[in-house]
Amino acid sequence: MDRKNKQGLTEKEFLEQYDPSQFDRPSVTVDMLVFSIDEEEVKNYRKLPKKQLRVLLVKRKDHPDIGQWALPGGFVRTSENFEEAVARELKEETNVENIYMEQLYTWGEVKRDLRTRIISVAYMALINSASQNLMGGSDAEDAKWFTLDSQVIKEKKVVPENCNNTKKLVKLTLKDEENEITSLIEITRSLQGKSIKETRQIIKNDGLAFDHGKIIEYGIERLRDKIERTDIAFSLMPELFTLTELQKVYEIILGRELLTANFRRKISRMVEETDEIKKDGDVGHRPSKLYRFNQNWMVEEPNY
């Protein structure tokens, strides 16, 4: 088509004279929320190791928020798709590849970064514990895993008779051997038109850079939602695992205990029994069978 615009230009001519720098543009970054599951070393005779949810953070080496901990990420190169940018950064930081990844949300509040208008396209990634200690890229000196704990501190109705106007205070606690980071996020639900609108606000930030507390909190909620409705949890598991280990992962993410019998019934179609049995540190109780993820669970009929 050689159709011309108001200035009398064809598409080809238009594209040749197009100068993006005539508009004031925001900067665009990708940030990654990388989750994995940690096994706490417990030497108690007989007891199973406790599991914990972990998040990868890097220490900022420059302004703004120098010295604070941030989600790994960086500016999007103009020649690179988001997924490529995320994968590249993740490879550099943790040496992990070929993992589950999904776009979380795009944060773009005008004042979220002191430098200039910076928009952050956040991704969530899940990696399994087997590949946990593989950090060691060039950028990785200050990349560390932090155990993550999220707790609802307070929940209240703003207008007593209207239950669609609530505020919830969530406290995030991130720890490693040396550091303890906390962040208080206030989540407000209010009626927008006829549907509920959720907004997050940082109340207190002790060690976390930018608005990354919001991103982490939002990521946990997404993870919670998806673990109940999809097979996303298996991205956190190693090739072989016991059903109890799997249950612990669900329990940590959901933040509540599950009844074993019901849990097993629910996930039964997603797993495949193997001949193997968990050996290593097992002591003093019935050994458990090892299972693997059943890729085709969506389309197999139940056996009755």
Closest distance to its own copies from the beta carbon of 95 (Å): 15
**Residue 242 binding result from its own copies, DNA, none, given CB thresholds of 5 to 8 Å by partner type:** DNA
Closest distance to DNA from the beta carbon of 250 (Å): 11
287 binds DNA (CB under 7 A): yes
> What is the 3-state secondary structure of the chain?
CCCCCCCCCCHHHHHHHCCHHHCCCCEEEEEEEEEEEEECCCCCCCCCCCEEEEEEEEECCCCCCCCCEECCEEECCCCCCHHHHHHHHHHHHHCCCCCEEEEEEEECCCCCCCCCCEEEEEEEEECCHHHCCCCCCHHHHHEEEEEEEEEEEEEEEEECCEEEEEEEEEEEEEECCCCEEEEEEEEEEEEECCEEEEEEEEEEEECECCCHHHHHHHHHHHHHHHHHHCCHHHHHCCCCECHHHHHHHHHHHHCCCCCHHHHHHHHHHHEEEEEEECCCCCCCCCCCEEEEECCCCCCCCCCC
**Residue 289 binding result from its own copies, DNA, none, given CB thresholds of 5 to 8 Å by partner type:** DNA
292/243 Cα distance (integer angstroms)? 10
243 binds DNA (CB under 7 A): yes
107/123 Cα distance (integer angstroms)? 11
244 binds DNA (CB under 7 A): yes
47 binds DNA (CB under 7 A): yes
48 binds DNA (CB under 7 A): yes
Contacts (Cβ under 8 Å, ≥6 apart) of 229: none
Among 63, 286, 299, 301, binds DNA (CB under 7 A): 286
Contacting range for its own copies; rule: CB under 8 A; set: 174-182, 205-213, 259-267, 294-302 = 294-302
256 binds its own copies (CB under 8 A): no
Among 23, 259, 299, 301, binds DNA (CB under 7 A): 259
Among 151, 179, 192, 201, binds its own copies (CB under 8 A): 192
Give whichever of 174 and 223 is closer to DNA, judged by the CB atom. 223
261 binds DNA (CB under 7 A): yes
> What is the chain's length?
304
301 binds DNA (CB under 7 A): no
Which amino acid belongs to residue 293?
F
Closest distance to its own copies from the beta carbon of 202 (Å): 16
265 binds DNA (CB under 7 A): yes
| Chain residues that interact with DNA, rule: CB under 7 A | 46-48, 242-244, 259-262, 264-266, 278, 282-289, 302
Residues in contact with its own copies by the rule CB under 8 A: 1, 3, 5-6, 9-11, 14-15, 18, 20-21, 23-28, 61-64, 66-67, 75-82, 98-101, 103, 105-106, 108-110, 114-117, 119, 121, 126, 162-164, 191-195, 230-232, 234-235, 237, 293, 295-296, 298-299
